[in-house]
Amino acid sequence: MAFENLSEKLSQAFKKLKSKGKLSVTDVKESMKEVRLALLEADVSYKIVKDFINNVTELSIGDKILESLTPAQHIIKIVNEELTKLMGSENIRINMSSKPPCIIMVCGLQGSGKTTHCAKLAHYLKKMDHRPLLVACDIYRPAAVTQLQIMGERAGVTVFEKQGEDPVNISLAAFSYAKDYGHDIIILDTAGRLHVDQELMTELKNIKEKLNVDETLLVVDSMIGQDAVNIAEAFNEALNIDGVILTKLDGDTRGGAALSIKAITNKPIKFVGMGEKIDTLEPFYPDRMASRILGMGDILSLIEKAEHQFNEKDIIKSVKKIKSKDFDLNDILEQMKSIKKMGSLQQILSMIPGMNNKIKDIDMEQGESQIKKTEAIIYSMTPKERAKPSIINANRKKRIASGSGTSVQDINKLLRQFEQMQKAMKKFGGKLGKMKKFPNFPGL
């Protein structure tokens, strides 16, 4: 995960502070040296690191903090607030046009994931009840149009393309098409280059001027470190971009780009790519990211992910099952499917407060493997066996083990775990039965 190294180093620096009942100016300055080194290793710009450390140090050596009963917590709070400021303080949304269709021009270099993230953005906006239209303006890269069509199909969004025309004319034709067919958002997938050049910028400027673009988003690969900041700076100078989509933030990146882009370009990161699937584009919240960097988790994003997968009908159905004590292996299977849609085990755990620094001690591969094994076992059962696991005898266990590529011991282990879960559900179901209503869900 992004920032894993930085998070670990910062935790070590603050751990030393927590062990001291009272702090001196020397203690603060020593810990800031470690923070400074951690930020530089994360590939954050030297100037930004210098300013950041000066600000935190100045705020941390006041009498109220040094004489406080919990000085370390005060300093962590200051670092959290300064990190949030560094990344932009708040989530900045897309500039929606008051008169649809809203035109979003997506630009970037080749290999940054521009076309993929156009489709991800379309999928995200479709979930927000918009009707986006993807437009293939990259007429130079081989198979660029085909790639957008494939990605558009995955997103469930219409793709507009017009052969034999230049990008400006394609964009103008797409605008007319969108008005005729009721699309309220147009997403232009423009051409990229291997490097920033005048020809590329001229083409993008022409599209922006002719179509009166509402939002210009730059897609930047976070894996390239400080080069991402340089690219953002170059595009911003030429096009006056409105924001950045930072890709591959789920990968093994040092994360310096996320901490530097806003400070250098004064343009916000609006979205981050957190995986390869079509639904892995997330709005960027600086305060939540700062909390994750400091090992405090990101419980709000976790709740939002859960809300997308578990609607009120599912919750009502589950509660009824628990109350009637009819909770079976079919329900376990459904819950596992929903949890998998929320992301990888590592992504979910990293959002839980206090878990960030413990993830390295957990065998993720074994955890993911166990989930797959459990799914295989349940899928190898008949509908009757899933609904009533108590009927599974020795012969049935052998058949299920053979069908799932597991052992009878694995079947026994799963059945024991389910039995324990059922007992817990019965106790919980009894408490639910005494409750008249659920305060957070008026329909229950």
Q: Give the angle 72-73-77 at the CA atoms, nearest 5°.
A: 120
| pLDDT, mean of residues 112-125 | 94
Selected residue with higher pLDDT from 208 and 295: 208
Selected residue with higher pLDDT from 74 and 387: 387
pLDDT at position 435 is: 45
User: Rounded CA gap, 22 and 37, in Å?
Assistant: 24
| pLDDT, mean of residues 370-374 | 84
Q: Which CATH number fits domain 102-285: 3.40.630.40, 3.20.20.10, 3.40.50.300, 3.90.79.10?
A: 3.40.50.300
Q: Each residue of 316-368: pLDDT tens digit? A: 666 666 565 667 888 888 777 777 666 666 666 665 555 555 555 555 566 67
Encode burial over 343-362: b for 16+ CB neighbours within 10 A, e otherwise: bbbbbbbbbeeeebeebeee
pLDDT at position 441 is: 34
Does residue 432 surpass a pLDDT of 50? no
| pLDDT, mean of residues 392-414 | 92
pLDDT at position 412 is: 92
Q: Each residue of 267-277: pLDDT tens digit? A: 999 998 888 88
| pLDDT, mean of residues 361-384 | 79
| pLDDT, mean of residues 12-17 | 79
Which residues are CB-contacts of 148 (< 8 A; sequence separation ≥ 6)?
A: 115, 118, 119, 134, 136, 138, 159, 161, 189
How much of the chain, in percent, has pLDDT values that exceed 90?
30
Q: Which CATH superfamily is domain 303-434 in?
A: Signal recognition particle, SRP54 subunit, M-domain (1.10.260.30)
Mean pLDDT of the chain: 81
| pLDDT, mean of residues 247-256 | 70
pLDDT at position 357 is: 54
| pLDDT, mean of residues 87-116 | 88
Does residue 23 surpass a pLDDT of 70? yes
Q: Which amino acid is at 382?
A: T
- Whether residue 245 contacts residue 217, with contact meaning beta carbons closer than 8 Å, is answered with yes
Selected residue with higher pLDDT from 292 and 395: 395
Does residue 214 surpass a pLDDT of 50? yes
CATH architecture of 4-86: Up-down Bundle (1.20)
Which range is least confidently modeled, 12-21, 167-176, 387-396? 12-21
Exposure of 392 by Cβ count < 10 A (0-12 exposed, 13-18 middle, 19+ buried)? buried
| pLDDT, mean of residues 172-180 | 94
Which range is least confidently modeled, 197-201, 217-221, 311-315? 311-315
Confidence of residue 120 (pLDDT cuts 50, 70, 90): very high
Instruction: Give domain limits for the chain.
Output: 4-86, 102-285, 303-434
| pLDDT, mean of residues 267-295 | 85
Q: Which residues make beta-bridge pairs with 12?
A: none
pLDDT at position 438 is: 40
pLDDT at position 121 is: 96
